[in-house]
Amino acid sequence: MASPRLDLMQVLLARENGFCFGVKKAVELTEAAAETGKRVHNLGQVVHNPTISRRLAERGVQVIKDVAQAEEGVVVIRAHGVPPAVRKEIEDRGLECIDATCSLVLRAQRFTKQLADEGYTVLILGTPDHPEVVGLKGYAGGTFHVVETKEEWGRLPKMKKAGVVSQSTQPPWAFTALVAHVATIAQEMKVFNTVCPVTVKRQHAASELAGQVRTIIVVGGRNSANTRELVNLAKMQGRSAYHIESADEVRSEWLAGEEAVGLIGGCSTPMDTLLEVKQRVEALGDLTTTAA
C-alpha cells in the first residue's frame, strides 16, 4: 500500500469564514418571503454576492432599482439599509415591507440621526455611492460630508460641532485616522464607532493568514466592499492576493511553487462556494506539484 504524499500543496482556510449574521438574516428573510408564493422584490442586491443573487432569482425573487418597479407584493430592504424616504415610499405605495437591514447598520442609522438632531455636522467615512452610505446620508440632516481617503478628509473645513460615523465595512485604521484628524479641525467632536466588529474579525483573520502564506485567494462579489478590503489588506502585507467570485476563476499559475495557499471569503460568501474553491485549488495545486 502506497504511503500518502507529504509534498502536496496545502490550502489553509482562514479562521473566520462564512456568512456574517447580518447577511444570514437578509438571505433567510428573502427566502422565507419567496416561499409564501407572493411576488418578492429585492430593492437592490440583498447582499453583494453573485451566487446568492442567482439562488434567489431561481426562487422567483426579482431585483429592482426603484420602489416604483414593484407594482404589488413584497419589497425586501437589503442588508445595507435604505434612506427613510425610501421606506416611506414603500409604505405609501401599499406594498408589504420586510426589513432585512443588518442590526449594525440600523445602529449606525440611529447614531447618524442622533448627531444630526443634536446639531452636529455629520462626517461619514465611506464610499459615497455604496448603498449603506446612501442610506446613512438620508439620516444625516442638511449638513454632512462623506469622505473615503486622507486626501478627501484633508479638505474638510473647520467646524464648530463635528460628529463622526462610518460605513460598517471600512477598515478600523482609517476610522481612527479620520477621528484623529477631525479632532484638529472641530471645536467639539462626538464619535460613534460603527465599524462592524465582524468585519474587523475577518480582517484580523486575513492578516493572520498573510503571516502563514505568500499567496491568498479571496472569494466574494466584486462589488462587495468588505471583500475588496480583504484583498487590499493582503496586498498591503506584501502578499499576492487574487479576488475571485467562483471556483472556475482559479488559475494554476497562481499556485506554482507554493507549498501552501491561503483562502478566505467575504462576509457574504457562502461556505459551499468557499469549499468549491478549496477543492479546485487543491486539484490544481496537486497537478502543479506533481508536474514539478
Residue 139 DSSP code:
T
Q: Pairing between strand 96-99 and 121-125?
A: unpaired
For the chain, where are the alpha helices, taking DSSP H only?
Answer: 21-34, 50-58, 84-92, 103-117, 131-137, 150-154, 172-185, 197-210, 225-236, 271-291
Give the Cα separation of 83 and 66 in Å (integer). 13
Taking the alpha carbons at both ends of the chain, their separation in whole angstroms is: 24
- Residue 248 CB: number of other CB atoms within 10 A? 9
SS3 191: strand
Q: Is 16 marked active-site?
A: no
Cα 87 to Cα 84, 90, 95, 147, 241, distances in angstroms:
5, 5, 10, 25, 39
Element holding 123 (H helix, E strand): strand 121-125
* From 28, 96, 132, 276, active-site residue: 132
Active site residues: 132
